[in-house]
Amino acid sequence: MPQVPQTLDALAVRTWCGLALEALGRAREEIDAINVYPVADGDTGTNLYLTVESAVAAVEAVFAGHEAAGHGAEDGSGTPLLAEAVRAMAHGALIGARGNSGTILAQLLRGMAQVLAADGEAAHTDGPGLRIALRHAADSAREAVAHPVEGTVLSVASAAADAAGGAEGDCGAVARAAYEGARAALAATPGQLAVLQRAGVVDAGGRGLVAVLAALVQTFTGEAPKQGAVSQAAPASAPVSAPVVGAEDVHARVHGDGCEEGGPAYEVIYLLEADDAAVARLRERLDALGDSLVVVGGDGLWNVHVHVDDAGAAVEAGVEAGRPYRIRITHFGAEDAHMAPGRPPRERAPRAVVAVVPGEGLAGLYTEAGATTVLARPGEPPASGELVEAVRRAHAREVVLLPNDADLRHTAAAAAEQARAEGVRVALIPTRSAVQGIAALAVHEPDRRFDEDVVSMTSAAGATRYAEVVIAERESWTMAGICQAGDVLGLIDGDVAVIGSDVTTTAETVLNRMLSAGGEMVTLVLGDEAPAAIADHLESRVRESYLAVDTVVYGGGRQGALLLIGVE
């Protein structure tokens, strides 16, 4: 048997997250198929997978940072401390949380992290510490939901904490008790929630939590607990091991029994930077606007989830409370519980473009041009699952994927492979900047042959040189020499070419170097923190020195770089 951790440490957290992601990957379609509450939109498994994938990425980033720096634990092994790992796990889940169940899972992980990261490592690394963490996780998740409902993931989490509370022994014994308690509670969910009983299934979010707890057992014992399928509701006297039901069967049962229609039309999710007092007021406002309200987080960063009819009002409430971003508004479509039974599914579009964009301004520009966008916040690149979800959202037979970032090449390739496995024809154009994506989108013609369109878009992107102007965060060696924190850097085609002290002067130098090799069109994308007059100054310089060159300016919003420059 492979060596397994006996106590909670950073390596155990890393192992658990990885095993949980694998478990949710295996169960994703099964969980999607039984998703009937609060809305039968068939995405709970996918949402849970994306939430944990974000947590995994955050934990791996912490390990990579320590391995590169060669420091961390007291033994000098380069391993991060438990507190760092669990905080990364919780933060990753928070910023990547999707849907109702994903948001609740993020709060469960945050609740555990609050216990495991407190008062140093010694106090909460054993079985009793894990018991306390599971209890706090269940309680904090219930508090995050405006109107808790029994028969959901909240019931399963509470039962897991109750069972763990009565367990003696090490982390493995506590994890197994929590798993068994959760599994029994999951089997009971149809008797607690009528919509589950009518559909003949257990709660989808609770099913996902059982998979996550099974991964916790495997982390500390080296063996995954034996389990049959746990999706279909069973009689009280029978084990929960019936075959998995299909999505069509579930939806037919729900609609055939008159599942309530006319509920809120939109799901609204966003991250929010705000203080506690503002969030308390926000909860009251959103609670009056709709249902399925879940607000999780703390320390100035929150994930807000709500179902409403007036999506604009939900976003405006966030603006009043603080700064919302990564705003996602989903209309419950033809396959959802809110639609009339028997309505045919929406037909796939012939072709679509899916693009990663670095700021809200460019997201609007790309959307106006017909693209489906994935917003990448600075320092928080999207995971492959988010790109796959965007391809699904585009709902097209053929998709052109624009990663718009050299560092996303492998992520985008993995997403493309997954989408192809689902029957979508995907072409990945290796755009390394959003300005290259703009050039590609400008020549996109969905009516011509797919291969011809891809070749034309690839050619346009490849003919566009790209640059960005940023502020150096720390002292470092670059191709242009040593820079200090606070210096202005001009990067051309990914390499630092200019180090300066003034943003406008540096940008002008960069632009002149790019145009010295020729060009017909200059694209400027301004970040929120760029100097107000920089666009007018650069446009004027182009008109004076390069008579045949046109300039177009866009607002990029909060995009990380002060300025993006493209020269075609």
Other CB atoms within a 10 A radius of the CB of residue 421 amount to 9
Q: How far is the C-alpha of 158 from the C-alpha of 192, rounded, in Å?
A: 14
Taken in order 143, 147, 149, 152, the sign of the CA dihedral is negative
465-567 under CATH 3.30.70, yes or no: no
Four-residue CA torsion sign, 413, 415, 420, 424: negative
Q: Name the nearest CA neighbour of 465 among 410, 414, 512.
A: 512
CATH of domain 349-463: 3.40.50.510
| DSSP code for 117 | T
Give residue 240's pLDDT.
Answer: 37
The one-letter code for the residue type at 9 is D
CB 93 within 8 A of CB 52: yes
Integer Cα distance of 292 and 298 in angstroms: 19
Distance CA 508, CA 486 (A): 18
Q: In whole angstroms, how far apart are CA 330 and each of 98, 184, 302, 319, 339?
A: 11, 33, 19, 19, 14
Is residue 413 within 8 Å of residue 387, measured between CB atoms? no
What are the φ/ψ torsions at residue 300 (nearest 5 degrees)? 90, -10
Architecture of the structural domain at 8-68+77-221: Alpha Horseshoe (1.25)
Contact 305, 325 (CB under 8 A): no
Q: Contact, 109 vs 141, CB < 8 A?
A: no
What is the residue-level pLDDT of the chain in tens, covering all 568 positions?
A: 446 666 788 999 999 999 999 999 888 888 988 888 887 767 788 889 989 998 998 999 899 888 776 644 444 456 888 999 999 999 999 988 888 899 999 999 999 999 998 865 445 678 888 999 999 999 999 999 989 989 999 999 999 999 999 888 889 999 999 999 999 999 999 999 888 888 888 999 999 999 999 999 999 998 888 765 555 554 433 333 333 344 444 444 443 333 344 567 788 888 899 999 999 999 999 999 988 899 999 889 999 999 988 888 888 899 999 988 878 777 765 344 333 344 445 577 889 999 999 877 888 889 888 899 988 877 778 878 788 888 988 889 999 999 999 888 888 888 888 888 888 999 999 999 999 999 999 999 998 999 999 999 999 999 999 999 999 988 889 888 999 999 999 999 989 999 999 999 999 999 999 998 888 999 999 988 899 899 999 999 999 988 889 999 998 888 889 999 999 9
pLDDT at 227: 65
Cβ neighbours, 10 Å, residue 429: 23
CA pair distance 149, 424, nearest whole angstrom: 38
Please enumerate, as own/partner, the contacts of 486-489 that have beta carbons within 8 Å and a separation of 24 or more. none
DSSP letter at 480?
Answer: T
CA pair distance 157, 420, nearest whole angstrom: 36
Give the pair of three-digit tokens for residue 225.
């607990």
pTM of the entire structure? 0.64
Provide the edge-to-edge strand list for the sheet that holds 290-298: 290-298, 301-308, 266-273, 323-331
Which pLDDT value is given to residue 333? 53
In DSSP notation, 36-86 reads -SS---S-HHHHHHHHHHHHHHHHHHHHHHHHHHT--STTSSSPPPHHHHH
What's the distance, CA 21 to chain centroid? 14
| b/e burial code for range 526-558 (CB count within 10 A of at least 16 → b) | bbeebeeebbeebbebbeeebeebebeebbbbb
At 14 the pLDDT is 94
**Contact present, 373 and 351 (Cβ < 8 Å):** no
Burial class (CB in 10 A: 0-12, 13-18, 19+), 472: middle
In whole angstroms, what separates CA 468 from the centre of its chain? 25
Name the residue ranges covered by the structural domains of the chain: 8-68+77-221, 266-331, 349-463, 465-567
pLDDT value, residue 254? 42
Crossing angle of helices 82-96 and 10-33, in 10° steps, is: 20
| Contact status, residue 307 vs residue 287, Cβ threshold 8 Å | no
DSSP 339-381: SPTTPPPPPPEEEEEEEEESSHHHHHHHHHTT-EEEE-BTTBP
How far lies 41's CA from each of 36, 99, 254, in Å?
A: 7, 10, 12
What is residue 124's predicted lDDT score, i.e. its pLDDT?
67
CA neighbours within 13 Å on the CB side: how many for 118?
12
User: In Å, what is the CA distance from 483 to each residue of 70, 379, 478, 486, 498?
Assistant: 24, 20, 7, 9, 10
Q: What's the gap between Cα 93 and its chain centre?
A: 8
Q: Are the beta carbons of 141 and 107 closer than 8 angstroms?
A: yes
Looking at domain 266-331, which of 1.10.357, 3.30.310, 1.10.472, 3.30.70 is its CATH number?
A: 3.30.70
H-run or E-run covering 469:
strand 465-471
